[in-house]
Amino acid sequence: MSTQGPGSPLNRRRFLQRSLALGAGVAGLELLAACGGASSTTTTVSATVNTLPPSTNPGAVYVFNQVVKDFEQAYPHEHIIGKNDPYDPTTYFAKLAAGQLEDGIQSYFTEPPLLIARHAVADITSLAKSWPSFKDYIPSIASIVTRGGRVYGIPVNGYVLGIFYNRKLFQGAGLDPDKPPTTWEEFRGYAKQLTSSQVAGFAETSTANQGGWHFTNWMYTAGGDMESSDGTKAVFNSPQGVSVLNFLKAMRFTDRSMTQQQLLTQADTLQLLATGKVAMVVMAPDQLNALQAQYQANLKDFGIGPMPQHGGNAALTGGNLWVFNPKSTPEVIKAAFDYVIYSNFNLDVVERSLAEQAAAGQAVGAPTAVLFQGAFQQQLSALYRKYATVPLENYTAFMNAQLQLRPEPRNQTQKMYATLDPVMQAILTDPKADPETLLNQAAHQFQQILDQSSAS
């Protein structure tokens, strides 16, 4: 799941990728200057962004509004309108076609290949390269939003999945809360030991594409792959994939250490963790803020450990980036771009925002994936440490883990996850479900999607 940049919502998920087609609908954009001060025009330009936090998190809403207020003082001819409209891959293209898409959209690291190929994002090359820190991105991070030498987005934060756990429940079960499980065998044993008539040892997601997402994460811990290296073949119906499903099925029906309630989303598992009904869940550190703000949880009662391993020595990593509506005017795109850079990477703004987040009771300083190299990253990291409000000592095992960070599959990722959701649902609800059969069926189904994608 990572420390979010100021003004960023809590969403999920060293990265790779290559080249695709040029975006459309951005004529004239390259004539604009990138990140200077306010626009020279006397007309105020309004841009919409999709990252207004939900009203259930008033502290985050306050910080968002304060950053917008400060931005509009620095850029008096640019106005930002926030909307609570998190990126949804199932509605993005319909909203774009209907003219209902925001001007600036925070999305996932997995999305640029499809969005670029379908000309559904704006080319922001001149804007991006006129920002001095763009050159400081780790090359694999920059490659996520770069195709054929053109730039189509701005990465803003990264996450690594791990295990959130209730330290009090660990202590009550006779487990050391400073030593979370590091192998599948340990994890399964801990879950059994933590299970009681009131508490399930573990809860897993299986809907809203999150079953496929977490299956991929477990696959990486087993050393398996989801797609061939060129992204043209589905390869998750492998012995490693079968082992993942057998592992989860055994926890669910043999050990009975998982929740009886299934078809869960991450929001569901977070609530179960926060309310003491589940001892362990798969999550990313950026969810600490929701854990605290939505459930008034005392973060000292929770720890984060690395993903338990089964030969892979790896965990899934991902993140959030910004893309821009290709139907928006160049001036509006520039306003949205200026806001993204200002709110996420202006060091004075970052420091002020972090101080406001801390004062507003937000969780600050959660472990995050590194995006930049050199002095700029060092400055950012120092600010997050300075204003940290989270108990970093509870995440020592997570931060010290020497795991390979593997990116999400890049070809038709969300459709892959959607294909695997029913597989996870079957394994977690039907004791007679056969892992190998389910994976073979899903791989055949997803292969058709890959074939259609390459042919189009």
**What are the pLDDT digits (tens) for 222-236?**
999 999 988 899 999
The better pLDDT of the pair 292, 9 is held by 292
State how far the Cα of 406 lies from the Cα of 378, in Å rounded to an integer: 23
The hierarchical CATH code for the domain 45-159+318-384 is 3.40.190.10
161-317+410-455 topology per CATH: D-Maltodextrin-Binding Protein; domain 2 (3.40.190)
Which residues are within 8 A (CB) of 267 and not within 5 positions of it... i.e. 6 or more apart?
none
What's the CA angle centered on 190, arms 186 and 191, to 5 degrees? 120
Q: Look up the pTM and report it.
A: 0.77
Q: What is the largest CA-CA distance in the chain?
A: 69
Task: Measure CA of the first residue to CA of the last residue in the chain; give whole Å.
Answer: 32
Res 415: pLDDT? 94
Q: What average pLDDT score do residues 52-69 get?
A: 92
Q: Give the number of other Cβ atoms within 10 Å of residue 370's Cβ.
A: 13
Res 456: pLDDT? 62
Q: How many helices (H) and strands (E) does the chain have?
A: 17, 12
Same CATH topology for 45-159+318-384 and 161-317+410-455: the answer is yes
Q: Are 223 and 314 within 8 A, CB to CB?
A: yes
Which residues are within 8 A (CB) of 434 and not within 5 positions of it... i.e. 6 or more apart?
none
Res 1: pLDDT? 32
At 30-51, the pLDDT tens digits run 334 334 444 444 689 999 999 9
Q: Are 365 and 388 within 8 A, CB to CB?
A: yes
Helices 347-359/375-386 angle, 10° precision: 20
State how far the Cα of 119 lies from the Cα of 331, in Å rounded to an integer: 19
What's the CA angle centered on 91, arms 34 and 295, to 5 degrees? 85
Least confident of 36-40, 168-172, 290-294: 36-40
Q: Which residues pair with 183 in a beta bridge?
A: 309
User: For residue 326, what are its two tokens?
Assistant: 């290709």
Q: What average pLDDT score do residues 302-314 get?
A: 97
Domain residue ranges in the chain = 45-159+318-384, 161-317+410-455
